[in-house]
Amino acid sequence: MTDLTPNNSFLIAGIVFITIAVIGKSKLAFIEINPGFFGRVLALFIGISSLLYALGLLNFSAGTLDLLRTSLTEQIKQSISSINELLQRS
């Protein structure tokens, strides 16, 4: 029997919420699901967020954020130097 890891939990939750958002009003055995407009939008948002987290696209670590910050500062420095060169030529 397999263990239910957090990644699998987010994958299952994402699929369930996306299904609720797409189908909307439905009956499942004795349970009636009728989320309304706001509930469907909320279910769509939660479902997409859960699926993205399960795929690892929303799972940022501190190292990833530091790498993003350094690359962003390097791009800003290059842009400023390019702008300065263009201004000096004019």
Please write the tens of the pLDDT for every residue from 5-35. Answer: 666 788 888 888 888 888 877 776 777 777 7
Nearest residue to 10 (alpha-carbon basis) of 62, 64, 46: 46
Same domain, 55 and 68: no
Domain encompassing residue 82: 61-90
- Cβ–Cβ < 8 Å for 7, 54: yes
**What local confidence, expressed as pLDDT, does residue 61 receive?**
55
Number of domains making up the chain: 2
pLDDT tens digit sequence for 78-88:
877 777 777 78
Q: Is the dihedral of CA 74, 62, 48, 8 positive or negative?
A: positive
Predicted local distance difference test score (pLDDT) of residue 62: 52
Residue type, 90: S
Q: Which two tokens stand for residue 61?
A: 């670590």
Which backbone phi and psi does 28 adopt, to 5 degrees?
-120, 100
Mean pLDDT of the region 40-49: 86
The predicted structure's pLDDT at residue 14: 85
Average pLDDT over residues 37-48: 86
Residue 19 CB partners (closer than 8 Å, separation 6+): 47
Asked whether residue 39 falls in the same domain as residue 82, the answer is no
Whether residues 54 and 66 share a domain: the answer is no
**What's the CA gap between 69 and 49, in Å, rounded?**
23
Shared domain for 54 and 82, answered yes or no, is no
